[in-house]
Amino acid sequence: MANFIDRRLNSKNKSTVNRQRFLRRYKNQIKKSVSDAIEQRGVTDISSGENIVIPKKDLSEPIFHQGSGGIRDKVHPGNDKFSTGDRIAKPPKGQGQGSGQGDASDSGEGEDEFSFSISKEEYLNLLFEDLELPNLEKNQLDKLIEYKTVRSGFCSEGVASNIDIVKSLQGSIARRIAMTSSKRKQLKEYQEALTALNQDKHDHLSEERELKKKIIELENKIAKVPFIDTFDLRFRNFAKQAVPTSKAVMFCLMDVSGSMDQATKEMAKRFYILLYLFLSRTYKNIDVVYIRHHTQAKEVDEHEFFYSQETGGTIASSALELMNNIINERYNDNQWNIYGAQASDGDNWADDSPHCKSLLEKQILPKTRYFSYIEITQRAHQTLWQQYQQVKETHSNFVTAHIKEVSDIYPVFRELFKKNTKNAA
């Protein structure tokens, strides 16, 4: 009467398609949630997924149901104090009388928000889709190239150490077979003729002698074919193949002088996060170096970078110098793809700006893949911006952008990388 079936090993992701459908349908709400979430993340924290919260009312599946009012009769269990005819005052209006009887409460929960998790991949996809980055990525592959030698077949010339013995002997066998085949054919004929003569009742002594002589001659000729010839030799061939390095280092430079308030830093942080996420799609290993500066620059950790307070004036070149030193010390530009991102409110000691320019042009830009400068300010541009504009005109791997408020960050980021696309193309 019963069949047992073990389905435990069947695929358990029957609902994956439906889940994707759900994400697809609520993409806009989810994206908003994703972009909200970015603020709460560390720059390098991309290994985790994200919790998504969507207002429940957006998800409703409407059906006709009974509303409020009207005459209602209900039966309840557990009478402990009522007698027929008792009257009980209704709770004051506004508190409502529960969710009504419409749907017999299919789920016991009454949250206002629908929250769930998405995986890391889903998170990144959603984030990048917003920035239209996947297309950029292809053009962005002008990374640093390293060469690797790889085997590429065989050739007939080369150094002795590269001789491939098996291939060479194969050639030798082939050559020997080719050079002796006609002789061996003839040899076989003579031998057959000889045996035929031997079996004959009559004597054919002279003919036999003749044949034997020819056979010895042929055998000598066959033996003379050399076992190996230079013609047989095969050498392993090697070719150089370009391999993009998967190492990158990202320098975050930020002005932390008194004029930079926390809100400005948060904006810069968002920019760094985006850059990091973007790079992490292209490179396997990314180092992040945080350099903050006022009049002096210092390498710090992430938390200190974003959250410690400093006061004082601003000398931007100090950070650039430190960056240059760190590159020279730790990040050989032949092995590392170097990216720089500088954020500032534009304040700088006026005499320092030309110095910044020359540092960038002479030292840093030749070594970096890409250097971006974002200025987060509501005010007019100052000397630093003007100097950087000059750099921008002569260097394709240098970009500047101006951010006024948080909502500018995505467009600006997109703009920066679009520009790069054009230059790369």
Q: What is the binding site for other proteins (CB under 8 A)? A: 1-8, 10, 12-15, 17-25, 59-80, 82-90, 100-102, 104-105, 107-109, 114-117
Nearer to other proteins, 112 or 301 (CB): 112
How near is the Cβ of 87 to other proteins at its closest, in Å?
Answer: 4
Nearer to other proteins, 90 or 202 (CB): 90
How near is the Cβ of 393 to other proteins at its closest, in Å?
Answer: 46
How near is the Cβ of 46 to other proteins at its closest, in Å?
Answer: 22
CA 386 and chain centroid, separation: 35
Q: Which helix (H) or strand (E) holds 63?
A: none
| The CA-based dihedral angle spanning residues 180, 184, 186, 190, taken in that order and rounded to the nearest 10 degrees | 150
Residue with tokens 């409460």: 105
Nearer to other proteins, 15 or 296 (CB): 15
Q: How many CA atoms lie within 13 A of 344 on its CB side?
A: 30
Interhelix angle 205-224/165-199, rounded to 10 degrees, is: 180
At 163, list the tokens: 């001789």
Nearer to other proteins, 21 or 303 (CB): 21
Whether 346 and 381 have beta carbons less than 8 Å apart is answered as: yes
Nearer to other proteins, 123 or 331 (CB): 123
At 121, list the tokens: 């991949």
How near is the Cβ of 65 to other proteins at its closest, in Å?
Answer: 4
How near is the Cβ of 102 to other proteins at its closest, in Å?
Answer: 7
Beta-carbon contacts of residue 43 (< 8 Å; ≥ 6 apart): 252, 269, 272, 273, 276, 288, 302
Nearer to other proteins, 71 or 159 (CB): 71
Q: Where are the alpha helices (DSSP H) in 160-261?
A: 165-199, 205-224
How near is the Cβ of 98 to other proteins at its closest, in Å?
Answer: 9
Nearer to other proteins, 63 or 380 (CB): 63
Beta-carbon contacts of residue 16 (< 8 Å; ≥ 6 apart): none
CA nearest neighbour of 345 among 317, 375, 374:
375
CA nearest neighbour of 32 among 127, 99, 103:
127
How near is the Cβ of 100 to other proteins at its closest, in Å?
Answer: 8
Nearer to other proteins, 56 or 204 (CB): 56
Whether 337 and 144 have beta carbons less than 8 Å apart is answered as: yes
Q: DSSP per residue over 332-348, as a string? A: -TTT-EEEEEEEE-S--
At 308, list the tokens: 């410690």
How near is the Cβ of 396 to other proteins at its closest, in Å?
Answer: 41
How near is the Cβ of 131 to other proteins at its closest, in Å?
Answer: 24
Nearer to other proteins, 6 or 329 (CB): 6
**Local structure of 284: helix, strand or coil:** coil
